[in-house]
């Protein structure tokens, strides 16, 4: 957005944006500060619309493109030096410049600029993809936006259908979230969280090489990632007074962990993330006492609650999970970070009591956990 000189869209996309973002920019619609900042940028950006059905556009700095996408778009591209998205942006960060310098880019086939972003049903895009051998034939890929499976639940909650009915305490919840059409809503945990006190979103993902215990005892892989760090944007770490590689506390309203921090420009300032499932209890999986997984590895599980207050009532609880799928709210927790004191132990917190060895397998893992290049242990 910041690097482009203008925006190019079709009428339908434009009208979707026109119905919401101007109100956010004016302050007429409630929105978080980040969304309001984005709305103000949209307001100031020249907007060009390709349409045969409409020619007047009232949103600030909006212009009609006549003559079709290809002809009008080429003229627009010629008079907009900064470019019109979608386009390939140059690597703007230190990480990006370093990646480009080391030629660590995945080979790709660039799409012609005029192809629309909705490539699943755009014939030029489908023809292009078929010529490259990606799909086998030129057929649009339908997306089912309306869910017939959810609507019966919603109708029951509204009292509009016979048969089995939900409990009265859950009718409003089902009516709200079992919408057959997709919509966005804030994580449910935010209703029970002081967002100013816990300003950061904490997320996790699995390392590419392992999942929980799978491959976690591979000797080669343990040399690469025997423990994890909290990945934090340099600006966020600097504001918190935490050095790259330093120890810090990560706190939610539900718990806290102590861990090591790594600065990464791949993480946005409002988010922290880590690999999960690397941290293990001391002695688990026949790892040697004091192994990195136990002393340096950690889990964000200690910061996540299983239950939330229901309808703002602390005496009533409900599962901290998605109302429709039941997926646990692993990505919903909000946290804050602070530096660990110099006198604190340089090990993760909490520390779990050493796990005793399982009878019958003691010592068998040594042949797997030990590897030295050039010889067998």
Residue ranges of the chain whose pLDDT lies below 50: 86-93, 377
* pLDDT tens-digit map of 180-190: 999 999 999 99
> Is residue 228 exposed (0-12), middle (13-18) or buried (19+ Cβ within 10 Å)?
buried
The confidence score (pLDDT) of residue 225 equals: 81
What does each C-alpha distance from 334 to 96, 168, 278, 300 come to in angstroms?
Answer: 28, 31, 21, 11
Q: What is the dihedral of CA 161, 164, 167, 170, to 10 degrees?
A: -60
User: ω into residue 86 within 30 of 0, thus cis?
Assistant: yes
Strand partners, 321: 328
Q: Would you say 28 and 20 are in contact if contact means Cβ atoms under 8 Å apart?
A: no
The confidence score (pLDDT) of residue 200 equals: 97
Q: What is the pTM of this model?
A: 0.64
Give the DSSP H or E segment for 38: helix 33-44
| CATH numbers and ranges of domains, the chain | 7-105 (no CATH), 144-185 (no CATH), 188-369 (2.40.40.20)
* pLDDT tens-digit map of 184-229: 999 999 999 999 999 999 999 877 777 666 777 777 778 778 899 9
Tokens, residue 219? 């000797």
Q: Would you say 4 and 83 are in contact if contact means Cβ atoms under 8 Å apart?
A: yes
The CA R_g of the chain, rounded to the nearest whole Å, is 26
Block residue for tokens 């300003």: 199
Tokens, residue 187? 């994580």
Within a 10 A sphere around the Cβ of 260, how many other Cβ atoms?
21
Q: Would you say 285 and 214 are in contact if contact means Cβ atoms under 8 Å apart?
A: no
What is residue 80's DSSP assignment?
-
Distance CA 76, CA 70 (A): 10
The confidence score (pLDDT) of residue 236 equals: 95
The confidence score (pLDDT) of residue 222 equals: 80
């Amino acid at each position: 957005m910041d690097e482009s000189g203008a925006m190019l869209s079709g009428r339908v996309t434009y009208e979707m944006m026109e119905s919401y973002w101007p109100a956010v920019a004016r302050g007429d619609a409630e929105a978080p500060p980040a969304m309001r900042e984005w709305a103000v940028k949209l307001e100031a950006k020249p907007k060009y619309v390709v349409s045969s059905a409409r020619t007047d556009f009232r949103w600030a700095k909006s212009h009609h493109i006549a003559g079709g996408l290809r002809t009008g778009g080429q003229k627009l591209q010629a008079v907009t030096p900064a470019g019109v998205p979608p386009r390939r942006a140059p690597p703007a960060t230190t990480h990006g410049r370093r990646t480009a310098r080391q030629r660590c880019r995945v080979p790709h086939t660039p799409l012609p600029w005029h192809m629309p972003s909705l490539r699943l049903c755009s014939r030029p895009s489908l023809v292009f993809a078929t010529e490259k051998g990606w799909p086998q034939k030129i057929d649009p890929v339908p997306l089912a936006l309306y869910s017939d499976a959810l609507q019966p639940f919603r109708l029951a909650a509204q009292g509009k259908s016979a048969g089995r009915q939900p409990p009265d305490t859950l009718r409003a919840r089902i009516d709200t979230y079992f919408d057959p059409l997709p919509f966005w809503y804030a994580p449910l945990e935010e209703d029970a969280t002081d967002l100013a006190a816990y300003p950061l979103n904490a997320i996790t993902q699995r390392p590419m090489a392992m999942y929980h215990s799978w491959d976690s005892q591979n000797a080669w892989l343990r040399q690469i990632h025997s423990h994890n760090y909290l990945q934090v944007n340099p600006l966020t770490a600097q504001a918190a007074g935490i050095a790259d590689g330093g120890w810090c506390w990560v706190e939610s309203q539900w718990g806290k962990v102590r861990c090591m921090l790594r600065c990464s420009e791949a993480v946005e300032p409002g988010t922290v993330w880590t690999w999960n499932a690397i941290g293990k209890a001391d002695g688990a999986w026949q790892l040697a006492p004091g192994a990195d997984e136990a002393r340096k590895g950690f889990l964000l599980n200690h910061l996540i609650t299983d239950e939330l207050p229901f309808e703002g009532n602390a005496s009533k609880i409900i599962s901290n999970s998605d109302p429709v799928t039941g997926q646990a709210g692993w990505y919903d927790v909000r946290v804050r970070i602070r530096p660990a004191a110099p006198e604190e132990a340089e090990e993760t917190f909490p520390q779990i009591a050493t796990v005793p060895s399982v009878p019958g397998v003691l010592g068998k893992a040594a042949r797997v956990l030990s590897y030295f290049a050039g010889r067998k242990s």
